[in-house]
Structure 1
């Protein structure tokens, strides 16, 4: 059971038990009066409820000593339970716990309907950056986090989340690891990230795992565990700082693309399907630059990368195009790539 479900169940644990006890007392009193006093079920239920509510109409009363003893037990126990249930329910309504419970249930409903989504493990410093980019790109994702402080931020921002430990099988299952396309694990501990990588690949061998490591020497270990991409923030930061000193203009340009969401330039990966209108066309005939104002940076074909391909290069089904250009033009290009050829 995921931790988010545990949270809302724990909210109602005590009043739920009290309510069940109250129902048990009412049912037991009804059956006792039916057997001991020879009353019908409705009259026995009426007497039990009236006793618990301490109304005391006096229209129906127990006549045997045993029946009166049962009535005393019902009054003492039933009144206490009835008062506790009502006061707790009122308190929960006043504090907003009921709305929180239904909010969590609605969120879990949305998470259960996610498909081909991204799972982000950890909402710390690195996780926040990942979340920002995914949110800007309007990509469906869910975050797993166990620290209450980041959870409050996720809740305020309206981001789907599961409060729990990402290293636990039940939490990953609740996040939809069987239905997801990518897991990004950003925990500060390599051991936790390694465990998540192994678990995700075990649950879903086709899922892509992008993992953070604090020790560059651990990259080989993560690759052996099945990670598709291993990122070392320390190594990237060091390389970027060196480049900023050597090539400041280039670094500033890349930084603008990555860090400013209002910039409309973007990188995109486009897969050429079998029936694409661009399939088997030469690059000069594709109109990538003339029609869509985009630059083809590379073609990935059968694990081979063709950098800055020649105009005579043919686009084949299964090619993965790495293109750069305005976001709106890339959207139009994606529609063109996925459009089927007109039958001759």
Structure 2
């Protein structure tokens, strides 16, 4: 990445030279402030009007010094700045620096590796859910599309490189979604992410069926095969069109205000030790408990007599505002 630091150093040196020269001409040679500045600038720019001249040998030597070294720094600063402005590099550098600073401040965010066809859909969903995330992408054409999305944090680079993952804050990320179309690349990303952050939840894309097992062995918590999901959905659409239509409405219709949510029961929760039928989750909030995840096991459609325990993850479905209210109860607030 191009750096603006050399330009800033050159400006600082040039300013120091001009200030020192003005001070010398004003104090040692007794010239007025305007005359000292005029003589200094005419020497730095090599215009040499000769209306104001140094009166001592030391002053003449300083004037020659200004003509050579000062002009050199001035030329470097002006040429580099103008070139940067023409090429748009200055704004690009500052924009990247600002983005990197934002990324370094993130905690419990999501890293999306790859912004291709699948990755774009992931990005749109994360934006809709107002989640904090960082995108890693190496293709210039795709990066231009990401810029067009607006305030999307991204890093231009290869997600299989450890350095790029560290720049994205993998050690502090809550989850990683790797969507690149290369199974070997997704495998490398999964292994690296588990090394840097064993607690992160990793969702990996698999193109070939045999890659699913490998990715899970490497540490992926969830492996998704877009082709398999598409085929299954097409078959269900033919066999059970009404059911698929309902599911599509729940998933794709963003205006219905109905959401799926996962809530963790902590030791502070009022639900600990309470039976499902006594919790009044359905009666008071209109929320359905679809499943309970407990110690790696899924209790689908739990019985009313099921007792909530610390560490249970409730999979809930209901209105967004009611889920927000229930979240406070589950958290023990």
Counterpart for residue 181 of structure 2: 188
Alpha-carbon offset, residue 281 of structure 1: 1.2
Distance 1:214 1:62, change over 3 A: farther
1:93-112 deviation line (CA, Å, top 9, x unaligned): 46654333333222222211
Counterpart for residue 166 of structure 2: 173
Contact 1:26 1:48 in 2 (8 A): no
Counterpart for residue 141 of structure 1: 133
- Output the CA distance in 1 between the equivalents of 2:285 and 2:16: 74
Counterpart for residue 3 of structure 1: none
Counterpart for residue 326 of structure 1: 319
Distance 1:24 1:136, change over 3 A: closer
Counterpart for residue 152 of structure 1: 144
1:12-31 equivalence runs, <5 A: 12=4, 19=10
Counterpart for residue 121 of structure 1: 113
- Output the CA distance in 2 between the equivalents of 1:276 and 1:21: 59
Alpha-carbon offset, residue 174 of structure 1: 1.0
Q: How many residues get paired?
A: 319
- Output the CA distance in 2 between the equivalents of 1:23 and 1:288: 71
**What value does the CA root-mean-square deviation take over the aligned residues?**
3.2
- Output the CA distance in 2 between the equivalents of 1:287 and 1:113: 40
- Output the CA distance in 1 between the equivalents of 2:132 and 2:226: 24
Counterpart for residue 94 of structure 2: 102
1:143-188 deviation line (CA, Å, top 9, x unaligned): 1112222222322321111111111111111111010111100011
* 1:60 equivalent in alignment to 2:54: yes
Alpha-carbon offset, residue 337 of structure 1: 0.8
Q: What secondary structure does 2:282 align onto?
A: coil
Instruction: Say which of 228, 247, 252 aligns to 2:245.
Output: 252
Unaligned runs of 5+ in 1: 1-5
Alpha-carbon offset, residue 211 of structure 1: 0.6
Q: What secondary structure does 2:172 align onto?
A: coil
Contact 1:26 1:49 in 2 (8 A): no
| More divergent stretch after superposition (163-172 vs 52-61) | 52-61
Counterpart for residue 294 of structure 2: 301
Counterpart for residue 88 of structure 1: 80
Unaligned runs of 5+ in 2: none
Instruction: Say which of 235, 242, 245 aligns to 1:242.
Output: 235
Distance 1:215 1:272, change over 3 A: same
Alpha-carbon offset, residue 14 of structure 1: 7.7
1:103-162 deviation line (CA, Å, top 9, x unaligned): 322222221111011100111110011111111111111111122222223223211111
Distance 1:87 1:211, change over 3 A: same
TM-score between the two structures when normalised by the length of structure 2: 0.84
- Output the CA distance in 1 between the equivalents of 2:56 and 2:116: 65
Distance 1:257 1:62, change over 3 A: farther
Distance 1:59 1:186, change over 3 A: same
- Output the CA distance in 2 between the equivalents of 1:169 and 1:23: 40
Counterpart for residue 201 of structure 1: 194
Contact 1:25 1:78 in 2 (8 A): no
Q: What secondary structure does 1:178 align onto?
A: helix
Instruction: Say which of 201, 220, 224 aligns to 2:217.
Output: 224
- Output the CA distance in 1 between the equivalents of 2:56 and 2:156: 53
Query: Does 1 or 2 have the higher relative contact order (CA < 8 Å, sep 6+)?
Result: 1
